[in-house]
């Protein structure tokens, strides 16, 4: 697939630099307008766009038909954040455990397999870009946005597994996107809400934050996503996030690290941008800085305004058309590499071997499960005859698809099938009612399922209180850093996220069917 820049209007060129989101599960008038009249280069799917595999494939096929039959006749990048673990968008697809589970398993071949199977599913749903893997080194336990989305806190581990994941995705024809450059791991602010700052000196950045991205570039990663984070050691002007920094994107990423692939922004509607420069001005500034693709995930009006602002910036001389052409060339080259026009509208989920993929997800979950603390709790002999009580909390299940979320707790369902005297208590806070206390009486083991006790401290506090008079196991179904708040509790295991495979692995370990093989890829000091 070859396109000639000289055949494209300025409006068509600028449109190719934008990737947009929309709010429906079918082709809406708004997304049709953005493709036909604003010539956007791509769309991004979120959970709001996804009902099931068949619907997703049909949506992708219709969007591609719309693109190649209108305007510049160039097919779309169709992307999704299918990281696994706590960030999964595709209802009905295999829910693989996430990066920190891969870090705990520490198996490059398994990591590559997970990425390959993820790519096979994406490709057969018409998605040709995965906004993964996360290459942030999570060395800050207080990080509110990365956490278990990272492979761990060791830059070499992150680099090795990241390269394996990239290889797996791209071997099956899906663009990998290393994110969030130059690193979002050592922040305690969520860039969705405000502008984080990383104040480390350049020598430390080279050793830690930048190292996995250097290795990703060596591995041939097709795309890198920017971070809305301010790095004073790289950017001299105060308060300029990496996404808008020419020093970061052109000086460091292009010129120093010799990255020749696509630079895509994180969403320009996150508050780190909105509260500082705004989405529209931010779109102009990020292209000036060196970005090739501007991601505007939500607002139809902002999408139009941003495209129009970039066109005007070119017409006024603020941005040269040569600068636009450089990005369009990269976009068209990558589209030519991964998109076959003869198969543009042939996404078909019937070609996916979901059973095979689920077996790999379960293999990963079992290899990742980590026993952090055990003071005489395991193994539990004749557990089928013991009284086991499970305490769960009413929490948002951000990583469960609609089908998975129909059950209150999959771990409970697995465990209760094999234990005769089983009690289940679901709480909204730390308060145990009289009826709940009665259920807990004479328990041989109380299991407290925490989801993010780091943010919801009452979960750990309840486990600690119960451990004064009972044998208590904490099962951290999302955040291994919950262990920081555990002292009296006799046992602690973590699965790193509550994907179905991880919940089954936790139940199987407690029942004595499997060993806990995982090694913590982070520490708690």
Nearest to 82 by CA among 70, 90, 92: 90
The answer to whether the beta carbons of residues 99 and 49 sit under 8 Å apart is no
H, E, C per residue of 95-107? CCCCHHHHHHHCC
Distance, in Å, from the CA atom of 398 to the CA atom of 499, rounded to the nearest integer, reads 10
* Residue 193: per-residue pLDDT: 65
* Residue 394: per-residue pLDDT: 74
* Residue 395: per-residue pLDDT: 57
The answer to whether the beta carbons of residues 328 and 3 sit under 8 Å apart is no
Residue 229 structure tokens: 């984070």
* Residue 188: per-residue pLDDT: 65
Instruction: Please report which confidence band the pLDDT of residue 210 belongs to, taking 50, 70 and 90 as the band edges.
Output: very high
Residue 453 structure tokens: 């006790």
Nearest to 259 by CA among 234, 290, 293: 290
* Residue 191: per-residue pLDDT: 62
Which H/E stretch holds residue 433? none
Distance, in Å, from the CA atom of 172 to the CA atom of 118, rounded to the nearest integer, reads 9
Which domains does the chain possess?
18-351 (3.20.20.300), 369-510 (3.40.50.1700)
Distance, in Å, from the CA atom of 461 to the CA atom of 472, rounded to the nearest integer, reads 12
The answer to whether the beta carbons of residues 104 and 519 sit under 8 Å apart is yes
The answer to whether the beta carbons of residues 99 and 146 sit under 8 Å apart is no
* Residue 401: per-residue pLDDT: 46
pLDDT in tens, 458-489: 999 999 999 999 999 999 999 999 999 999 99
Distance, in Å, from the CA atom of 344 to the CA atom of 328, rounded to the nearest integer, reads 20
Nearest to 242 by CA among 174, 290, 305, 311: 290
* Residue 92: per-residue pLDDT: 94
Residue 398 structure tokens: 């951000």
The average pLDDT across 292-298 equals 97
The answer to whether the beta carbons of residues 63 and 458 sit under 8 Å apart is no
Nearest to 357 by CA among 32, 114, 153: 114
The average pLDDT across 390-396 equals 78
State the burial class of residue 456 (Cβ atoms within 10 Å of its Cβ: 0-12, 13-18, 19+). Answer: middle
* Residue 525: per-residue pLDDT: 63
Angle between helices 279-289 and 300-315 (to 10 degrees): 50
pLDDT of residue 407 exceeding 60: no
Distance, in Å, from the CA atom of 347 to the CA atom of 121, rounded to the nearest integer, reads 10
* Residue 146: per-residue pLDDT: 86
Distance, in Å, from the CA atom of 373 to the CA atom of 58, rounded to the nearest integer, reads 48
Find residue 489's DSSP bridge partners.
none
Residues 6+ apart with CB under 8 A from 399: 85, 86, 87, 88, 95, 98, 497, 498, 499
Residue ranges of E strands in 13-93 = 18-21, 42-45, 77-80
pLDDT of residue 189 exceeding 70: no
Nearest to 114 by CA among 174, 55, 62: 174
pLDDT in tens, 214-261: 999 999 999 999 999 999 999 999 989 999 999 999 999 999 999 999
pLDDT in tens, 81-108: 999 999 999 999 999 999 999 999 999 9
The answer to whether the beta carbons of residues 426 and 393 sit under 8 Å apart is yes
- Alpha carbon of residue 475 to chain centroid: 22
Residues 6+ apart with CB under 8 A from 334: 175, 222, 223, 261, 262
State the burial class of residue 398 (Cβ atoms within 10 Å of its Cβ: 0-12, 13-18, 19+). Answer: middle
pLDDT of residue 184 exceeding 90: no
End-to-end Cα spacing for the chain? 53
Find residue 389's DSSP bridge partners.
423, 446
Number of CB atoms found within 10 A of residue 342's CB: 6
Which H/E stretch holds residue 54? helix 53-68
Number of CB atoms found within 10 A of residue 239's CB: 12
148-179 burial code (b ≥16 CB/10 A, e <16)? bbbbbbbbebbbbbbbbbbbbbbeeebbbbbb
| This prediction's pTM | 0.94
List the catalytic residues: 192, 266
Backbone angles phi, psi at 44, to 5 degrees: -120, 135
Locus of tokens 């750990």? 460
Distance, in Å, from the CA atom of 319 to the CA atom of 312, rounded to the nearest integer, reads 9
The average pLDDT across 287-309 equals 97
Number of CB atoms found within 10 A of residue 424's CB: 17
* pLDDT > 70 fraction of the chain, expressed in percent and rounded: 95
* Residue 402: per-residue pLDDT: 44
Residue ranges of E strands in 191-233 = 223-226
pLDDT in tens, 501-518: 999 999 999 999 999 999
Angle between helices 279-289 and 321-338 (to 10 degrees): 80
Distance, in Å, from the CA atom of 19 to the CA atom of 305, rounded to the nearest integer, reads 14
Distance, in Å, from the CA atom of 236 to the CA atom of 230, rounded to the nearest integer, reads 10
The mean pLDDT value of the chain amounts to 93
């Amino acid at each position: 697939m070859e396109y000639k820049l000289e055949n494209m209007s300025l409006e068509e060129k600028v449109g190719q630099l934008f990737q947009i989101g929309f709010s429906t599960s079918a082709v809406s008038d708004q997304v049709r307008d953005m493709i036909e009249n604003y010539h956007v280069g791509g769309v991004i799917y979120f959970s709001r766009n996804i009902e099931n595999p068949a619907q997703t494939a049909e949506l992708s096929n219709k969007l591609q038909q719309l693109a190649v039959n209108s305007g510049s006749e160039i097919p779309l990048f169709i992307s999704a954040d299918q990281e696994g673990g706590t960030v999964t968008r595709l209802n009905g697809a295999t829910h693989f455990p996430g990066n920190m589970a891969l870090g705990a398993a520490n198996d490059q071949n398994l990591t590559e397999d997970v990425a390959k199977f993820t790519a096979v599913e994406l490709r057969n749903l018409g998605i040709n870009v995965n906004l993964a893997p996360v290459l942030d080194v999570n060395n800050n336990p207080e990080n509110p946005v990365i956490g278990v989305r990272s492979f761990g806190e060791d830059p070499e581990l992150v680099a090795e597994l990241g390269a394996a994941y990239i290889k797996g995705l791209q071997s099956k024809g899906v663009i990998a996107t290393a994110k969030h450059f130059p690193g979002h791991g050592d922040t305690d602010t969520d860039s969705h809400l405000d502008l984080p700052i990383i104040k480390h000196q350049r020598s430390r950045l080279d050793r830690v934050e930048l190292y996995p991205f250097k290795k990703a570039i060596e591995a041939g990663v097709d795309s890198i996503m920017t971070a809305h984070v301010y790095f004073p050691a790289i950017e001299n002007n105060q308060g300029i996030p990496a996404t808008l920094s020419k020093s970061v994107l052109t000086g460091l990423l292009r010129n120093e690290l010799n990255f020749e692939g696509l630079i895509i922004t994180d969403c320009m509607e996150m508050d780190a941008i909105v509260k500082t420069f705004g989405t529209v001005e931010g779109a102009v500034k990020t292209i000036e800085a060196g970005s090739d693709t501007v991601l505007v995930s939500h607002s139809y009006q902002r999408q139009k305004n941003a495209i129009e602002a970039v066109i005007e910036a070119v017409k006024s001389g603020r941005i040269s058309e040569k600068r636009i052409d450089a990005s369009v060339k990269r976009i068209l080259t990558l589209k030519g590499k991964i998109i076959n026009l003869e198969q543009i509208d042939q996404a078909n989920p019937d070609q996916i071997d979901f059973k095979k993929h689920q077996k790999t997800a379960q293999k990963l979950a079992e290899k990742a499960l980590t026993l952090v603390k055990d003071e005489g709790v395991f193994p539990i002999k004749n557990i089928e005859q013991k009284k086991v009580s499970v305490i769960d909390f009413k929490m948002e299940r951000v990583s469960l698809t609609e089908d998975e979320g129909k059950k209150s707790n999959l771990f409970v369902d697995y465990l209760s099938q094999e234990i005769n005297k089983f009690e289940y208590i679901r709480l909204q806070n730390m308060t145990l009612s009289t009826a709940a206390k009665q259920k807990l009486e004479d328990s041989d083991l109380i299991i407290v399922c925490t989801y993010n006790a780091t943010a919801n401290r009452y979960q750990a506090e309840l486990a600690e209180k119960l451990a004064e008079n009972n044998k208590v196991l904490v099962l951290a179904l999302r955040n291994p850093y919950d262990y920081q708040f555990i002292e009296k509790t006799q046992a602690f295991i973590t699965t790193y996220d509550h994907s179905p495979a991880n919940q089954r692995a936790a139940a199987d370990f407690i029942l004595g069917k499997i060993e806990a093989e995982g090694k913590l890829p982070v520490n708690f000091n």
